């Protein structure tokens, strides 16, 4: 295994701290994890039951019956099992455990003698198994089942599900590949790649890693497999539209374009992030996983190019991805319209996946910054504060007169609910990393983690109101002296700050977004971090046409927005003066307890709207106080207008 030269440590020696050793408490992630456990998991199970998704695994559907299992359904159940498994890791819950085990048994019972497991293609269209990889999501469903099985095993020590999934993966490995008689295929919706690396990590079975690598490298090879199989299905070749990603006109890939599923080029040759945003992020996550296990430099370079394009040219300030509904994905660089932003919840979740994997490959705060941005804003906004309503799309503005946006309790295509819930329940894995000689904090959150550094158990306890405060007190339990490096993420939004160790102010240097302290740590050492966290203004690159002349408000990792509920209508007639002080307060009674930014703004005199179409008199402005709330908490009150990018004067 090659050691990555760009990484300051052999990547194999720096791994996420497993979920079982991290516990969140407090008012933010502790509260959200409680919400998902107590509200989201039961509610989404109920939806899966009542829509027939769970009972589909009974394989009782027959021609002529209503409600045939849909090609996506297995993945919805799998993600629920995965989420519930994460919940069981940190909270014993016999009732939930029994539902999970029962569901897992049912899933396993649907496995075919050859290892295949897919409800739709077993009972509805068995003759179409593996005939349309482009559209049918079979390997996508398989991937989610594998992820669920790994999570189930880690939560319960029961091996039935993971054993079934090994058989499934073994079977898939016989079907796809470069050997004679094997299909040269891969899935139109990536997911199996990262799942196979999880299975490899659990089982140490190399063929799963090799199969993941095969799926990654086969994508985009000529002849285009999706065309090959289309001809086998007797379909005419697609008449492709013109793909324009930059230059004259900016639009998503034309319907039928290979760009939608990232198979327009071999992935190692790709420079631009294109197409369906969730697929693209799952692909990149799988690529980064393979890099982590193989040290494949060329593939890592591709990851870095795609990361750069995604996050420095095509990412909303919320960490949302996907500028257009047509491909649920990317268009061209800097095309980030706010009202029509697609920003699927799953895409922000998947950006957290990708960021976390890049951070594992290269401990650089730029990855942690994006991970945090997407997590606290674009992803978390997908979940209502009641835990049982969800956004699929997460626009950055709802204009006057536009259709109100409200979270729904379910979707026909129900990918988002269990994606936001599973990442919340799995968040422990994202917060800490450990290495041979280092303990790393990537995310600040009230709670406790047990790390293993150089064979020694280290406990880190965080006391903080982060993200509402930048004060973090870390108490170390390190036994009787242990020499290692404590690496503390220094958020990119933070200017200044202090590090106090055992009451003593410490000079520090931020390198690649982390402050590193090497010493012999003692039990009950206390590290106090202070990240100045005033309300601040954020500006977009002027190439982002939609945001020119506008400002976003932020505080720490949280992006704020104006809502009609606080500010009345006509939000886009509000001007925020450049020199206006911004006031920050924590409002315990509002939206479950959130930070609020207030100040004075101006608004166009509403009477002008009743005036003529054109006039020569100056536009008159009225003073008004404004209230901005965290973006993730929007649309939890009366539906109305919303605005992230506020006009600046």
For the annotated catalytic residues, the residue numbers are 328, 415
Which residues, including other chains, have CB under 8 Å from residue 41's CB and lie 6 or more apart? 80, 83, 84, 87, 96, 421
Binding to its own copies by residue 536, rule CB under 8 A? yes
Q: Which of 179, 504, 613, 623 binds its own copies (CB under 8 A)?
A: 613
Stretch that binds its own copies, among 13-21, 128-136, 161-169, 535-543 (CB under 8 A): 535-543
Residue 576, beta-bridge partner list:
648
Q: Decide: is 509 part of the binding site for its own copies (CB under 8 A).
A: no
- Based on CB atoms, which residue is closest to its own copies, 542 or 625? 542
Q: How far is the CB of 319 from its own copies (least distance, A)?
A: 10
Place of tokens 């995604």: 310
Give the nearest distance from C-beta 429 to its own copies in angstroms. 27
For its own copies, the binding residue among 206, 231, 519, 543 (CB under 8 A) is 543
Three-state DSSP state, 499: strand
- Strand, coil or helix: what is 88? helix
Contacts of 639 (CB under 8 A, 6+ apart): 404, 405, 406
618 binds its own copies (CB under 8 A): yes
Among 180, 248, 298, 509, binds its own copies (CB under 8 A): 248
Among 391, 493, 521, 631, binds its own copies (CB under 8 A): 493
Alpha-carbon distance 301 to 29, whole Å? 34
Strand 456-464 with 514-521, pairing:
unpaired
Within residues 284-343, the interface with its own copies by CB under 8 A covers: 311-313, 315, 317, 334
Residue from the set 5, 64, 179, 578 that interacts with its own copies by CB under 8 A: 578
Tell me, by CB under 8 A, how many residues bind its own copies: 50
* CB distance 287 to 216 below 8 Å: yes
Q: Is 540 in the site for its own copies (CB under 8 A)?
A: yes
Q: Decide if residue 624 touches its own copies (CB under 8 A).
A: no
Question: What are the start-end ranges of the H helices in 9-159?
Answer: 31-35, 41-50, 73-90, 94-109, 119, 138-156
Packed helices 73-90 and 41-50: angle between N→C axes, nearest 10 degrees:
150
Does 573 bind its own copies (CB under 8 A)? Our answer is yes
Nearer to its own copies, 169 or 559 (CB): 559
Q: Using the rule CB under 8 A, which residue among 254, 402, 485, 500 binds its own copies?
A: 402
Tokens representing 448 are: 């406790």
- Using CB under 8 A as the binding rule, whether residue 271 contacts its own copies is answered as no
CA-atom Rg of the chain in angstroms: 25
457 binds its own copies (CB under 8 A): no
Q: Using the CB atoms, write b or e for 99-135: b if 16+ within 10 Å.
A: bbbebbebbbebbbeebbbbbbbbbbbeeebbbbbbe
- HSE-CB of 383 using CA atoms within 13 angstroms: 29
Which position has the token pair 């209503």?
Answer: 66
| Residue 356 near residue 15 (C-beta atoms within 8 A) | no
CB-wise, 306 or 317, nearer to its own copies? Answer: 317
Q: Which of 5, 62, 180, 403 binds its own copies (CB under 8 A)?
A: 403
Cis check for the bond before 472: say yes or no (omega within 30 of 0): no
Stretch binding its own copies (CB under 8 A), from 119-127, 143-151, 421-429, 538-546: 538-546
If binding is defined by CB under 8 A, does position 480 make contact with its own copies? no
228 or 399: whose CB is closer to its own copies? 399
The residues in 341-360 that bind its own copies, with binding defined as CB under 8 A, are none
Q: What is the dihedral of CA 25, 30, 31, 37, to 10 degrees?
A: -120
151 scored as a contact of its own copies (CB under 8 A): no
In the complex, what is the shortest distance from the CB of residue 523 to its own copies, in angstroms, rounded to a whole number?
Answer: 39
Q: Is 105 in the site for its own copies (CB under 8 A)?
A: no
Nearest-approach distance from CB 404 to its own copies, in angstroms: 9
DSSP string, 200-252: HHHH--HHHHHHHHHHHHHTTPSS-HHHHHHHHTTPPPP-------SSS---P
Return the exposure string of 36-46: e unless at least 16 CB atoms fall within 10 Å of the residue's CB, then b: bbebbbbbbbe
623 binds its own copies (CB under 8 A): no
Q: Which of 238, 537, 600, 637 binds its own copies (CB under 8 A)?
A: 537
Applying CB under 8 A, the residues found at the interface with its own copies are 246-250, 311-313, 315, 317, 334, 399, 401-403, 493, 495, 536-545, 548-549, 554, 570, 572-573, 575, 578, 604, 606, 608-609, 611-619, 647, 649
């Amino acid at each position: 295994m090659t050691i990555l030269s760009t990484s300051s440590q052999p990547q194999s020696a720096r791994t996420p701290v497993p979920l079982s050793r991290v516990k969140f408490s407090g008012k933010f992630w502790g509260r959200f994890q409680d919400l998902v456990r107590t509200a989201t998991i039961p509610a989404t199970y109920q939806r899966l039951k009542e829509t027939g998704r769970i009972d589909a695994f009974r394989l009782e559907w027959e021609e002529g019956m209503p409600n045939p299992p849909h090609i996506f359904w297995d993945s919805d159940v799998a993600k629920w099992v995965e989420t519930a498994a994460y919940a069981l890791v940190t909270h014993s819950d016999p009732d939930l455990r029994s539902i999970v085990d029962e569901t897992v048994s049912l899933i396993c019972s649907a496995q075919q003698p050859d290892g295949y497991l897919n409800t739709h293609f077993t009972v509805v269209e068995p003759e179409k198994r593996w005939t349309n990889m482009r559209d049918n999501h079979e390997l996508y469903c398989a991937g989610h089942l594998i992820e669920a099985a790994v999570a189930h095993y880690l939560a319960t020590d029961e091996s039935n599900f993971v054993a079934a999934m090994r058989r499934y993966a073994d079977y898939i490995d016989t079907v796809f590949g470069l050997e004679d008689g094997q299909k040269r295929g891969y899935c139109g919706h990536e997911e199996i790649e990262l799942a196979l690396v999880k299975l490899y990590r659990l089982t140490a079975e190399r063929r799963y890693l090799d199969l993941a690598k095969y799926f990654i490298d086969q994508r985009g090879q000529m002849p285009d497999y999706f065309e090959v199989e289309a001809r086998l299905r007797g379909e005419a070749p697609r008449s492709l539209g013109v793909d324009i990603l930059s230059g004259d006109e900016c639009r998503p890939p034309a319907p039928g374009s290979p760009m939608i599923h990232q198979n327009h080029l071999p992935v190692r040759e790709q420079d631009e992030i294109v197409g369906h945003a969730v697929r693209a992020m799952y692909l990149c996550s799988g690529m980064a996983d393979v890099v982590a296990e193989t040290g494949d430099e060329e593939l890592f370079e591709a990851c870095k190019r795609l990361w750069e394009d995604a996050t420095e040219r095509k990412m909303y300030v919320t960490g949302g991805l996907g500028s257009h509904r047509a491909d649920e994905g990317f268009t061209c660089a800097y095309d980030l319209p706010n009202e029509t932003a697609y920003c699927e919840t799953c895409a922000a979740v998947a950006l957290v996946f990708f960021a976390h994997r890049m951070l594992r490959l290269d401990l650089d705060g730029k990855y942690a910054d994006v991970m945090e941005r997407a997590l606290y804003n674009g992803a978390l906004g997908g979940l209502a504060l009641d835990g049982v309503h969800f956004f699929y799309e997460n626009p950055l503005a709802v204009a006057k007169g536009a259709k109100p946006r409200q979270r729904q309790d379910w979707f026909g295509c129900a990918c988002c609910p269990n994606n936001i819930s599973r990442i919340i329940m799995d968040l422990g894995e994202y917060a800490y990393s450990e290495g041979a000689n280092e303990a790393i904090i990537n995310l600040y959150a009230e709670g406790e983690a047990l790390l293993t550094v150089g064979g020694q158990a280290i406990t880190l306890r965080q006391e903080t109101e982060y993200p509402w405060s930048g004060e973090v007190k870390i108490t170390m339990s390190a036994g009787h002296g242990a020499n290692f490096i404590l690496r503390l993420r220094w958020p990119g939004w933070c200017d200044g700050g202090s590090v106090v160790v055992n009451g003593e102010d410490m000079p520090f240097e931020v390198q690649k977004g982390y402050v590193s302290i090497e010493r012999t740590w003692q039990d009950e050492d206390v590290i106090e971090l202070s990240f100045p966290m005033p309300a601040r203004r954020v500006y977009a690159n002027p190439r982002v046409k939609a945001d020119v002349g506008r400002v976003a408000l932020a505080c720490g990792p949280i992006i704020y927005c104006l809502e009609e509920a606080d500010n009345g209508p006509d939000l886009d007639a509000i001007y925020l003066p450049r020199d206006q002080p911004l006031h920050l307060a924590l409002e315990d009674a509002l939206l479950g307890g959130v930070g609020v930014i207030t100040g004075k703004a101006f608004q166009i005199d509403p009477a002008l709207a009743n005036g003529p179409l054109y006039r020569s008199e100056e536009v008159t402005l009225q003073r008004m106080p404004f209230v901005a709330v965290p973006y993730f908490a929007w649309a939890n009150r009366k539906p109305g207008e919303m605005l992230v990018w506020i006009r600046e004067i």
